[in-house]
Amino acid sequence: MIKAGIIGATGYAGNEIVRLLLGHKEAEIVWFGSRSYIDKKYASVYQNFCKIVDAKCMDDNMEALAEEADVIFTATPQGLCASLVNEAILSKCKIVDLSADFRIKDVKTYEKWYGIEHKAPQFIKEAVYGLCEINREAVKGARLVANPGCYPTCSTLSLYPLLKEGLIEPSTIIIDAKSGTSGAGRGAKVDNLFCEVNENMKAYGVASHRHTPEIEEQLGYACGQEVLINFTPHLVPMNRGILVTAYASLNRETSYEEVRAVYDKYYGKETFVRVLDQDICPQTKWVEGSNYVDVNFKIDPRTHRIIVMGAMDNLVKGAAGQAVQNMNLMFNLAENEGLMQVPMYP
Amino acid sequence: MIKAGIIGATGYAGNEIVRLLLGHKEAEIVWFGSRSYIDKKYASVYQNFCKIVDAKCMDDNMEALAEEADVIFTATPQGLCASLVNEAILSKCKIVDLSADFRIKDVKTYEKWYGIEHKAPQFIKEAVYGLCEINREAVKGARLVANPGCYPTCSTLSLYPLLKEGLIEPSTIIIDAKSGTSGAGRGAKVDNLFCEVNENMKAYGVASHRHTPEIEEQLGYACGQEVLINFTPHLVPMNRGILVTAYASLNRETSYEEVRAVYDKYYGKETFVRVLDQDICPQTKWVEGSNYVDVNFKIDPRTHRIIVMGAMDNLVKGAAGQAVQNMNLMFNLAENEGLMQVPMYP
Amino acid sequence: MIKAGIIGATGYAGNEIVRLLLGHKEAEIVWFGSRSYIDKKYASVYQNFCKIVDAKCMDDNMEALAEEADVIFTATPQGLCASLVNEAILSKCKIVDLSADFRIKDVKTYEKWYGIEHKAPQFIKEAVYGLCEINREAVKGARLVANPGCYPTCSTLSLYPLLKEGLIEPSTIIIDAKSGTSGAGRGAKVDNLFCEVNENMKAYGVASHRHTPEIEEQLGYACGQEVLINFTPHLVPMNRGILVTAYASLNRETSYEEVRAVYDKYYGKETFVRVLDQDICPQTKWVEGSNYVDVNFKIDPRTHRIIVMGAMDNLVKGAAGQAVQNMNLMFNLAENEGLMQVPMYP
Amino acid sequence: MIKAGIIGATGYAGNEIVRLLLGHKEAEIVWFGSRSYIDKKYASVYQNFCKIVDAKCMDDNMEALAEEADVIFTATPQGLCASLVNEAILSKCKIVDLSADFRIKDVKTYEKWYGIEHKAPQFIKEAVYGLCEINREAVKGARLVANPGCYPTCSTLSLYPLLKEGLIEPSTIIIDAKSGTSGAGRGAKVDNLFCEVNENMKAYGVASHRHTPEIEEQLGYACGQEVLINFTPHLVPMNRGILVTAYASLNRETSYEEVRAVYDKYYGKETFVRVLDQDICPQTKWVEGSNYVDVNFKIDPRTHRIIVMGAMDNLVKGAAGQAVQNMNLMFNLAENEGLMQVPMYP
């Protein structure tokens, strides 16, 4: 039985890790870390766990936690994991970091976009970017996994086959993404109040969102060259779900069948990436509560562009689900253990 | 492995039975019945099942289905199950009927409130009202279970201990209930369009809703006398969730502790009924996607009334989850098999 | 041109007063008071007023404001108006207080339910409870109007004719109310975050909500005796709208026609109270953005109760609209000036 | 007093024309046309008009209507207006057609994208495309105005100054648009049920939406060359509001100030187009219920693209509001008469 500790267990992503691990046959939670709620019953913070979780919240003490846990999930703001991790900890247990601290290989890029100093640059090289479908083998051997951001997961998986096969021109990529509000976290901010979000829509972080360099780095690996993109996230009045609509110019004439074959080549055997039938557009509700990413594409012969769509649950495949998937790989478990929830509809 | 057939598999309740049975270790679905979508892939009607369910929809043929299935779920409009069932079918397989056809013992009451003639009154007496926490033993031996309505489930479980112990005066019961829109089904009606429901609220079926006699009958069993209530359902802009707020006059002075003890007496060992801590009001999201019913109460010393609240997911404990719970009882399986989904939040 | 000042202009009710006064032909706003946003452009706090309002926010200085304004609206938390008002101010300008400070005539009841000391009890007697349809003449002569609470407005208007005519037994009144989330204000609280409210429902303040004594006092005036009620508010995932469902036992046999005549007697000539046609249940969206209250009722011959329903926009008739209606009365303007917005649908 | 008739008065756009004309000082509605509800009270179809509109619905008889009305609004499906209009009618009254029948100058393009034969091609040339801010003078003299589509209105106004001034390369334009659900109309379709739309998001009509050629034609006029774009609409769980996010490559280095000056040049004196302050992203709620379009832009120096955003209420500026604005121009009234509703927030 793998012993798991969660630092940041009372955020939405932490709460979702708890939900998933409760249904995991090979793991148990030994530490519900939450600096804000120390000694409070976890189920009193999230009443959905009433009569299911009896534990109390504990401090975010990674040193102590490393003594008790086989794996630590850090579902905390940027900078915290980097400020706590050290060799002693990593020699005792594995870490899946849900923050951005170890996602970007170039520390200067990280520090520029995130506006903070990186406190543990010595671990950046070792850290594995935990996009399981693409870095599966590397994840298996990792001590420290950087769990990908929600937008980067959906964007990269949607575009990866096209870039890998050279079908699109990287400099033309535009990613227009839409997210439910749980991605904004549980902090008490006026902008995230029900009345401000409901019956409303907006773009935010235009030409400046911090997931941009992360996406660019991953797309760059796919096509073997530097990539600059436009990435625009939008806030939409729903709890869960990310929808990515990406645009790129085709490098040559192609057909539905050819592109479909490319997607099948990369995802045909993947459990969690579903390439939908022709002309079926992904909908976020079709993956709600599950670890699936649904993708599809449409070729526009008029403009010689391809439109690629991806939908997933930002709290599952975009955060907690992928974190558990990474844990499964790191501990040589079945990759889908604890992750076979059927999407809930409606 | 129990073979299950679903008649009405493309309604919201049918779709939810599919979701739950896919996670059930002892049952498999052999028949996705849907008259409207015969020969269409089930996963094309509900894309959430893409790459999960490969079957096609079949006709609503209960005779043929009885040859193949151990249990049939009828998730169909009132009257259909009663028009199809017969002794030959019941001798071959068990039936869990999610419609109202066999819930009400007095056929005249049924025919008056539902406005249709009952086509199989000979089975009404045999049918067991499948409110598992209350009729557990009877369900275990049943061939035909009448799966309770969503409002009656939540209302009855909320009030049952008080009536059973004689703490409240039955003639004073008023039930004000609120439901998400999935309870209205998947029929294409203007009243259920997004724009009509969103940012809107209304009562409906005031003093005339068909769940009224069902609730009255069950509450009557609890207190051993005829009960007449006011029951007012409301439509609320959300997908899932029923919230019941019930009012009744106390028969005598009592205390929080005494009433709490009464609830614990009846539900302390129940898996799916959670009596919340003092002063915590049930919220529908805390049970979303799960088979739990959360209940609590508040005594008002000023008016000598007690206010009782119950929250559940109308599609799970209010329909498909309870249907599976009934199946588990009927086949001597663990009652919670396939039903331990942790509520999804947010 | 009446000069109006608003203290608390950046709350939701304050913002709504601004919206309404901008369409008012006889009034102009001279002071946008907001302690939190002093010197910030009002339209930067509420971008809906971009290019419409050019003013900056000012301090909540009632003394200074009284020099400039003919009327002051206080859309502030309980206690503030009482702490600021004095005879000098009232001799210079009129006040419409949207807080509860002057709604309840018994200062002990106020202090008990609100848990604060009343700082200006000497004005309680003078203050007029501004439920225009009922206290119209008194409002006309008032210097200080206590603008009714949202729930009390909808509850009182719904039940008033029945009590006035002695048709119902006061001790049996139960009010089950549901409100959109704007009633909770614009404060940054976790409980009011989009993800906590959306797809969720709950009761709150059960048997303890502070609008209870206000409703009881007003209903008491209607029937000429002390009234104790049960009042349960619920939070519903929508921005605007209050729906009241009230229950009471009839004092005698009556008919639809008789009760309808009673409602018409009191509201037949009222602009803002619409008694709907038989069997049409009020819906909050039918009054959204307007000053209307829609009411209707249903007699249940089985239980000898009457179910009364009322729907209104909590920010308009339940706050800002009624405040403007009171201002119109106090200044001898047409009562409906600036208030003839047609409800917006959908 | 202008006499207005509405054909299709019971659709969402027709209903919104009614709302707006009720507040219009120079116009009155003489005909509520609705084939589906003939002889039914209009206010029984839309209860928001209870006690406000007393008329009954009438047949969609344009010949008869032309005798009574000065202006006819056709808020009907594609093809109807073209099938009814003739010279006799146009000689008696003006028409504002909210369908697509007269928006596209090339009849073949219309017939290809809409899949129907055009029944009155002889009026296409005469018809004026009623995008008031751009075609103001032509509208003033028109007998027949083609009221622009919702997406084209928001897209064209957002991009027009940039194209007119040659700042962007037309072939690089990508428009990613998001709409509330009222744009889908009031037809009873499963896809538009509350439970299907709520907590869900999807693209639709990818590379094939019928507003594409309309947008292309208008953008082409702006830059003086043929334009082919990618246009992707998305359905979002809200009632009202369109948000356009458009991308294009800049033709040369430019600055915020320069681009801002270009927007001010075209819109500085416009009442209904609001160019927001730097870095403020438009939000649909800031324009809800009003005729405003809020626009803004962001230059991305990394990719040499500009991101343009536009937000409006699809039922007002995107349909009924613009129709009334066109009527005002056609009858030499103040252009903003009846259209100065302040946006409603929240």
What residues of chain A have any CB closer than 8 angstroms to a CB in chain D? 174, 176, 178, 180, 195-196, 198-204, 206-207, 228-230, 232, 234, 236-241, 243, 245, 247, 281-285, 288, 298-300, 302-303, 305, 307, 309, 311, 346
Q: Does the distance separating the beta carbons of D181 and B195 come in below 8 Å?
A: yes
* B150 is annotated as an active-site residue: yes
The candidate with the shortest Cα–Cα distance to D11, out of D99, D104, D75, D67, is: D75
Provide the residue type at B345 as one letter.
Y
Q: Using CB atoms, pick whichever of A181, A199, A239 lies closest to residue C239.
A: A199
Interchain CB distance below 8 Å, B201 and C207: no
What's the pLDDT at D37? 97
The partner residue sitting opposite C343, judged by closest CB among D48, D239, D280, is D48
Cβ of A240 within 8 Å of Cβ of B346? The answer is yes
CA-nearest residue to B240 within chain D is D195
Per-residue pLDDT in tens (0 to 9) along chain D, 346 residues:
999 999 999 999 999 999 999 999 999 999 999 999 999 999 999 999 999 999 999 998 999 999 999 999 999 999 999 999 999 999 999 999 999 999 999 999 999 999 999 999 999 999 999 999 999 999 999 999 999 999 999 999 999 999 999 999 999 999 999 999 999 999 999 999 999 999 999 999 999 999 999 999 999 999 999 999 999 999 999 999 999 999 999 999 999 999 999 999 999 999 999 999 999 999 999 999 999 999 999 999 999 999 999 999 999 999 999 999 999 999 999 999 999 999 999 9
The predicted-structure confidence for B228-268, as pLDDT tens digits, reads as follows 999 999 999 999 999 999 999 999 999 999 999 999 999 99
- Cβ distance C19 to D47 less than 8 Å, yes or no, reads no
Q: pLDDT at position B92, please?
A: 97
pLDDT, averaged across chain B = 98
pLDDT digits (tens, 9 = 90+) for B143-193: 999 999 999 999 999 999 999 999 999 999 999 999 999 999 999 999 999
Residues of chain D contacting residue B198, judged by C-beta atoms under 8 Å apart: 181, 194, 198, 237-239
Residue A211's alpha-carbon distances to A153, B278, D177, in angstroms, are 10, 44, 21
Asked if residue D245 lies in contact with residue D148, where contact means CB atoms within 8 angstroms, the answer is no
Q: What pLDDT, on the 0 to 100 scale, is given for residue B37?
A: 97
pLDDT of residue B206: 98
CB < 8 Å to B200, chain D: none
Residue D24: predicted pLDDT: 98
ipTM: 0.97
Contacts of A89-93 with C-beta under 8 Å, sequence gap 24+, read A89/A62, A89/A63, A90/A123, A90/A143, A90/A144, A92/A66, A92/A67, A93/A65, A93/A66, A93/A69
Summarize pLDDT for B273-305 with one digit per residue, the tens.
999 999 999 999 999 999 999 999 999 999 999
Written as tens digits, the pLDDT of chain A (346 aa) is: 999 999 999 999 999 999 999 999 999 999 999 999 999 999 999 999 999 999 999 998 999 999 999 999 999 999 999 999 999 999 999 999 999 999 999 999 999 999 999 999 999 999 999 999 999 999 999 999 999 999 999 999 999 999 999 999 999 999 999 999 999 999 999 999 999 999 999 999 999 999 999 999 999 999 999 999 999 999 999 999 999 999 999 999 999 999 999 999 999 999 999 999 999 999 999 999 999 999 999 999 999 999 999 999 999 999 999 999 999 999 999 999 999 999 999 9
Contacts of C238 in chain B (CB under 8 A): 198-201, 237
Burial (CB count within 10 angstroms: exposed 0-12, middle 13-18, buried 19+), residue C279 = exposed
The sheet carrying D128-129 orders its strands as D57-58, D27-33, D2-7, D71-74, D94-97, D144-146, D128-129
Which residues of D touch chain C, with CB atoms under 8 Å apart? Answer: 12, 15, 19, 22-23, 44, 46-52, 182, 198-199, 239-240, 274, 276-277, 280, 283, 285-290, 294, 340-346
Catalytic residue, from D81, D150, D154, D223: name it. Answer: D150
pLDDT on residue A60: 87
Residue B60 pLDDT class (50, 70, 90 cuts): confident
Q: Which residues of B touch C (CB under 8 A)?
A: 174, 176, 178, 180, 195-196, 198-204, 206-207, 228-230, 232, 234, 236-241, 243, 245, 247, 281-285, 288, 298-300, 302-303, 305, 307, 309, 311, 346
Q: What is the pLDDT along chain C (346 residues), one digit of tens a residue?
A: 999 999 999 999 999 999 999 999 999 999 999 999 999 999 999 999 999 999 999 998 999 999 999 999 999 999 999 999 999 999 999 999 999 999 999 999 999 999 999 999 999 999 999 999 999 999 999 999 999 999 999 999 999 999 999 999 999 999 999 999 999 999 999 999 999 999 999 999 999 999 999 999 999 999 999 999 999 999 999 999 999 999 999 999 999 999 999 999 999 999 999 999 999 999 999 999 999 999 999 999 999 999 999 999 999 999 999 999 999 999 999 999 999 999 999 9
Q: Could you give the C-alpha distances from A253 to A301, A302, A303, B318, in angstroms and in order? A: 9, 11, 11, 53
| Chain-chain contact of C199 with A239 (C-beta, under 8 angstroms) | yes
Give the count of Cβ contacts less than 8 A between chain A and C.
56
